[in-house]
Amino acid sequence: MDAMLWMFLPLFTAAGSALLSFYIMQARMEVALAKEREALVEARSDLKNMEKETEARLKATEEESRRKSMDDFLGEFRVEERHYMRESKSLFMNKKSMVLQERLYFRNIPLSNWVEHELTVEEGGDVGNLARAASIFTARALGSEKPGAPALTGGKPERGHHRMLKG
């Protein structure tokens, strides 16, 4: 029996060592797998964050390009304005009036006919302020918040008459 014990003892030791080594390696592989899964989750999280950031940048860039193209489009509108003084003499009164004419253009294409206003000028009155107050193609007259922003339609003048074909 002693001989058998001495023969199988190394075999049992080898088998025990193999099992112990197998379980240790299994635990190491599970730790390595857990680390890889953690790295994968972190990489996916970083990728989703980059994707969201890229989408946000893309939307901001699209919005900025839309805004710039709209500003460029609106910048192509301009108003041509002219005015002159007219005196009406009658038997008892001498009436002085300013005739203001405006026309809306897109680049060099007229969008409207001449819009004409006849404004009575009082003695000592400021003609420049009167012209600005009667203009229908200004932001103030249209209720817009941006000063100098061109508009496509005209408002009703304070005095006189106006004609527009397109607006």
71 and 87 both lie in a single domain? no
Q: Show which of 53, 75, 97 is a domain's final residue.
A: 75
Calculate mean pLDDT across residues 153-167: 37
pLDDT interval class at 145 (50, 70, 90): very low
pLDDT interval class at 142 (50, 70, 90): very low
How far is residue 155's CA from residue 167's CA, in Å, rounded to a whole number? 10
pLDDT 10s digits, 16-71? 999 999 999 999 999 999 999 999 999 999 999 999 999 999 999 999 999 999 99
64 and 97 both lie in a single domain? no
How far is residue 86's CA from residue 123's CA, in Å, rounded to a whole number? 14
The pLDDT assigned to 95 comes to: 81
Number of domains observed in the structure of the chain = 2
Of 21-25, 105-109, 160-164, which gets the smallest average pLDDT? 160-164
The pLDDT assigned to 43 comes to: 97
Range of the domain at 67: 1-75
Q: What percent of the chain has pLDDT over 90?
A: 39
